[in-house]
Amino acid sequence: MNIVAIGIVSISSIISREQFDFGTNALASAGFRVKVAPNVVGPDVAPAEERARLLESFWLDPEIDMLLFSRGGEGADDVVPLIDWERLRARPDLPIMGFSDVTILLNAALSKGVGHPISGPMLSYAKRLEPGAREWVGAVLGERPLPPVRVNVLRAVPDGAVVSGLPMGGHVTRLRWLQRGGLLPSARGRVVFLECTAKYPPAEVRQCLEALRDGGALDGASAVVFCDFRHTGADRAALESFFSEFAGTLPCPVFSGFPYGHVPGILALDFRRRLSISPDGVLSFE
């Protein structure tokens, strides 16, 4: 990816002025040209129609090499149904990066075969991002080698083989929204990464995961990886117990512990970069 100019866009909640200033200054210091959509800071969230049209405008701007979302929150579910996907096919390979609520756009784009989705830190994460995560993003965007990451094995590969596939996934409640709306891409041959926040209690997380499984959203997956769910104490214990139980109901290998989600050490996932996981839990990207 040859990225010189980055467009900052918003389809969800607005970003604070402090986060905006720090993030854009960091990008400029790193040598990127930055163009910002007028609805990013606010003071109020723009109407969904305006957010959709601004997204399309920035997507099709020939002077922009990549779209970076300002933050998550909520609101992407109002914007994605308004997007003119055929119009965006004029630039089918544009890199687009975000996560959390932006899970909706990234996976809808994957389903439509438009754009180059990268699930990773947004502008709002610039100040809190750990050095290793920052270096990881640079390696992803620069298509450079990535170090292997060890994960926990919850359900082993039956024949002890290495599993592989392209990644997909994101925030479990947003994936459930996509499933209900018929916009969730097929998991066949892919490694599905799942994350959530403590805002959603274990019972709701469980309900979402069971609905994804029972509705066929995980059918054909090469593997499932539980990432960071941000729950603590009894809630964390309840989820970890459920993950182990849930793993036994899936026909594919299941892993946990990849540092992806609402954490300072979030590792970006390029949906076009193939990965493999060894039987003993070493995850490597091609």
Q: Per residue in 79-133, pLDDT tens?
A: 999 999 999 999 999 999 999 999 999 999 999 999 999 999 999 999 999 999 9
pTM as predicted: 0.96
| pLDDT confidence of residue 158 | 75
Residue with structure tokens 């607005």? Answer: 14
Bridge pairing between strands 66-69 and 5-9: parallel
Q: Where are the domain boundaries for CATH 3.50.30.60 in the chain?
A: 149-285
Q: Where are the domain boundaries for CATH 3.40.50.10740 in the chain?
A: 5-128
The pair of structure tokens assigned to 45 is: 């969230």
- 223 φ/ψ angles, rounded to the nearest 5 degrees: -165, 160
The pair of structure tokens assigned to 95 is: 């890199």
Each residue of 193-222: pLDDT tens digit? 999 999 999 999 999 999 999 999 999 999
The pair of structure tokens assigned to 174 is: 């947003």
Each residue of 45-62: pLDDT tens digit? 999 999 999 999 999 999
Residue 159 has pLDDT above 90, yes or no: no
Residue 262 has pLDDT above 90, yes or no: yes
From the candidate CATH numbers 3.30.70.520, 3.30.420.40, 3.40.50.720, 3.50.30.60, the one assigned to the domain spanning 149-285: 3.50.30.60
Using only C-alpha atoms, the chain has a radius of gyration, in whole angstroms, of: 18
Task: Return the CATH class of domain 5-128.
Answer: alpha beta
| Residue 13: alpha-carbon gap to chain centroid | 16
- The pLDDT confidence band at residue 157, using thresholds 50, 70 and 90, is confident
CA–CA separation, 45 and 76 (whole Å): 12
Residue 160 has pLDDT above 80, yes or no: no
**Percent of the chain predicted with pLDDT > 90:** 94
Each residue of 169-198: pLDDT tens digit? 999 999 999 999 999 999 999 999 999 999
